[in-house]
Amino acid sequence: MNQVIVQFIIAGWFLSGAIILFIATSVCLLQKTRNRIPAFSALFSTAVWCLSPFLFYSGISQRIPVLQLLHIPFSVIAGPSAWLYFQLTVKDRLFEVNDLWHLQLPALVTLLTIISIYSTGFPVAVLNVSGKVVSILYLTALLLSVRKLTSNIPLAARISSVLIILNLAALWIGFAGFLFKTDLLKLTSAMALPLLIHIGLGIHLAYPETFRLLENAERKRMERSSSLTNVDLKTTLENVLSYLQYEKPWLEEDFSLSELADEMGLSSHQISELLNQHLGKSFHVLINELRVKEAKKLILESSDDTLIDIAFRSGFNSKASFNRNFRKVAGITPKEFRKKYDNSKSKNITEST
């Protein structure tokens, strides 16, 4: 009887951690935050990972054996997703299609895992270990990135950074437990994860600006090691803006920071630093502003063209992206902009007659 109660308590402990992360995942989607793809992937994967021990201690996975493999694909994705989200957040840039390669390898491992469930030809144990090696590399890289920013920043951010390190360390310990088949390491990691999730929630509620503080710390660190020391800033900036204005390479939907850097003979980091320091905006913000300006011009000149045609001609790759960025820059949607122009034109015609 006592053993049943203990298992019930342990199962509830893991379930509470999973519920917090599932709620955080839902909030992330509802708020339509920046970089939602890696944020959603990191939160949801960790939530499912935390749910797996609940299924074990509650006896559910014993009754449905396939659920014992549930955590494998998600534990593989969690590490790369967390690393990618952190990098995008502190460096103040948006998720790009090129960033997907960080998730392609985990996706491949996930696919092999699913296949192995229905086939006896591929050992699941190999996937279990190899998948965790992928995430352990990303988690270690993330630990090193966070540690660089924990000095000379406010105490709140420092505490939060330490918490992130402890959280990731617990996951690393869990990986090591699977790699070296040590039950003590597995148990330590598993029990620590919900605790750190609860503490992390409290820290986030008390200090919601944690990542903003880390972002500022990263900016100051980059300023101290500026890559523009030997660059003629005025001339280079004029060349960049002239190229964007007259050549309009951003009309191609896949135009990237690296392409602009190659054209200017600089690195992507140098171009990004130049734009942020001297225009106060990121590469993506600048490109979207140029595309919206072009879209406005086309709307005024091409009354017969559909808005989706104008979106693609302006360099946007989807209707959703077009509407979102147009509203962000112009304050109204493309449809509202066209309607406003049409009404104004009709009014002028009426007055003239």
* Most trustworthy range by pLDDT among 19-23, 114-118, 135-139: 19-23
Q: Are residues 190 and 275 in the same domain?
A: no
Least confident of 38-47, 70-79, 114-123, 268-277: 114-123
Same domain, 215 and 249: no
Q: What is the CATH number of the domain that holds 262?
A: 1.10.10.60
Instruction: Please check whether residue 94 is in contact with residue 35, taking contact to mean a CB–CB distance below 8 angstroms.
Output: yes
| Each residue's pLDDT tens digit, 166-201 | 776 777 787 777 777 788 887 787 788 788 787 777
The angle that helices 183-206 and 2-31 make with each other, rounded to 10 degrees, is 50
Give residue 126's pLDDT. Answer: 58
Query: If pLDDT is split at 50, 70 and 90, which confidence band does 153 have?
Result: low
CB distance 194 to 67 below 8 Å:
no
| pLDDT given at position 223 | 54
Rounded distance, CA 147 to CA 165, Å?
8
Question: Do 59 and 36 belong to one domain?
Answer: yes
Higher-confidence position of 286 and 229: 286
Domain check: are 290 and 273 in the same one?
yes
Q: Which of 285, 225, 221, 263 is nearest to 92 (CA)?
A: 285
User: 185, 219, 253 — which closes off a domain?
Assistant: 219
- 219, 239, 254 - which closes a domain: 219
Which of 149, 184, 219 is the C-terminal boundary of a domain? 219
In this structure, are 263 and 185 located in the same domain?
A: no
Domain region containing 255 = 226-352
The pLDDT of residue 297 is 92
Judgement on whether residues 231 and 213 belong to the same structural domain of the protein: no
What's the whole-model pTM score? Answer: 0.55
Domain containing 139 — which CATH number? 1.20.1070
Question: Is residue 286 predicted with pLDDT exceeding 90?
Answer: yes
Q: Do residues 237 and 343 both lie within one domain? A: yes
Cβ within 8 Å of residue 299, ≥6 positions away: 307, 310, 334, 337, 338, 341
Domain count, the chain: 2
Return phi, psi of residue 7, to 5°: -65, -35
**pLDDT at 337 exceeding the cut of 50:** yes
Question: Does one domain contain both 277 and 160?
Answer: no
**pLDDT value at residue 32:** 60
Tell me: do 124 and 271 sit in the same domain: no
- Same-domain check for residues 28 and 78: yes
In a shared domain, residues 143 and 113: yes
Residue-averaged pLDDT of the chain: 77
What pLDDT, on the 0 to 100 scale, is given for residue 326? Answer: 93
31 DSSP 8-state letter: H
Cα–Cα dist 189/169, whole Å = 8
Handedness of CA 207, 208, 214, 220 (dihedral sign): negative
- 88 and 157 fall within a common domain: yes
